[in-house]
Amino acid sequence: MFNGKIDFKPSFLNDRSRPLMGVDIGSSAIKLVELSKSGNTYQLEHYAIEPLPREAIVDGAINDLDAVSASLARVWNRLGTHTRNVCMALPASAVITRRILLPAGLDEEVMELQIEAEASQYIPFAMDEVNLDFQVLGPAPGNADEIVVFLAASRKANVEDRVAAAQSAGLKATIIDVESFAEQVAFNLISASPGSEGSLTALVDMGAHATNVSVFKDGESVYSRDQQIGGELLSRQIQTLFELSPEEAEIAKRKGGLPENYITEVLEPFRENVAMEVMRALQFFYSSSPYNDIGQLILAGGSASVEGLAAAIGKQTGIATELANPFARMSLSKRINQRQLQVDAPSLLVACGLALRRFDPS
């Protein structure tokens, strides 16, 4: 099973010193998480969220480096930590992944040469423009003479932009991971439960512009689909109906105080629309797989905490639905506002998964 340990490390990213924080640069906000560990128990030490200017991130890429760096510096200053090493991530759309077969017993140097040769078949860029990493998954099923290798590649520019944003904010990017892998690591903290082997769990990650619906079996993704709906749609509807600025609409969406007709004219139709899109994605899964029963649905992402959304999705899909909280089994430092964390936790899944890389011995 792939365990999510992919690390894009060009030569200037070879500092594995500890501690480090997880930094999730999303399309509308930056999230920072710092964890500690005592024995087998994790503790949430710090977290903070800082909104990003509109269009600072476009399609997962940094469009305004100065704006992203300034926001990152602000959120780090608010965090109240001395830690400057960070683990960051690339969006899955910026990463090419493949599973390949290689002869067993190759020494490391020969294996790396063969992996690079194999990778060149799938990557539409010159290899000197690409950062490449791989992980040996184990023997090939039914063939002891071969091994399965998981490889991941991304253009160097994608990595370098994030490194530059961290450096400009006074931080040091020591690991560059992949958002979907980090999310899966944190998701496994939530979904793992005794006696659940073989059961299916859905993760619905709702961002500003899109919603990803994934299905996991025994901790491994067996399906993933993006639906083009996100929290930005609700913000635009609020902005239009109540004649607010984009900033005012975003604040009103989160803090309330809108006129009474907001619920019937905006919120309820939005929730129903999202629930239908999630159901549509699950219907594609059912029709293209031998499975027809999902035991649990977990709702995550920056827009997951929209009032009544989890209930609407649960009603539409017929699946028990809950908001993601990767910190539910962790202890909390005294500086954490527990009530606010309940609101923010669903949006911190990726940042939490990145922060967990601090404890990865590899």
Q: Give percent above pLDDT 90 in the chain.
A: 60
pLDDT in tens, 14-44: 444 468 999 999 988 999 999 999 998 999 9
This model's pTM is above 0.85:
yes
Mean pLDDT rounded to a whole number for the chain:
89
What is the residue type of 39? G
Higher-pLDDT residue of 8 and 66 is 66
With 50 as the cut, is the pLDDT of residue 3 above it?
no
Alpha helices by DSSP H, listed for the chain, are 65-79, 108-119, 156-168, 179-191, 231-242, 246-255, 261-262, 268-287, 309-317, 338-344, 349-355
The pLDDT-based confidence of 252 (bands split at 50, 70, 90) is: confident
Q: Could you tell me if 51 and 115 are in contact, meaning their C-beta atoms sit under 8 angstroms apart?
A: no
- Reply yes or no on whether the pLDDT at 82 is more than 70: yes
DSSP string across 329-358 = TSEE-TTS-HHHHHHHGGGGHHHHHHHGGG
Task: Please determine, for residue 1, whether its predicted confidence score (pLDDT) is greater than 50.
Answer: no
Give 88-116 pLDDT, tens digit per residue.
999 988 898 888 899 998 888 898 888 88
**pLDDT reported for residue 194:** 39
What is the per-residue pLDDT across 5-16, written as a single tens digit (0 to 9) for each? 556 554 334 444
pLDDT of residue 93: 87
Domains along the chain with CATH numbers: 193-323 (3.30.420.40)
The region of weakest confidence among 62-71, 185-194, 336-345 is: 185-194
Q: Summarize pLDDT for 319-349 with one digit per residue, the tens.
A: 999 999 999 999 999 999 999 999 999 999 9
User: Would you say residue 2 has pLDDT above 80?
Assistant: no
- What is the pairing mode between strands 172-178 and 85-90? parallel
Let me know if 224 is exposed, middle or buried by CB neighbors in 10 A (0-12, 13-18, 19+): middle
CB 304 within 8 A of CB 230: no
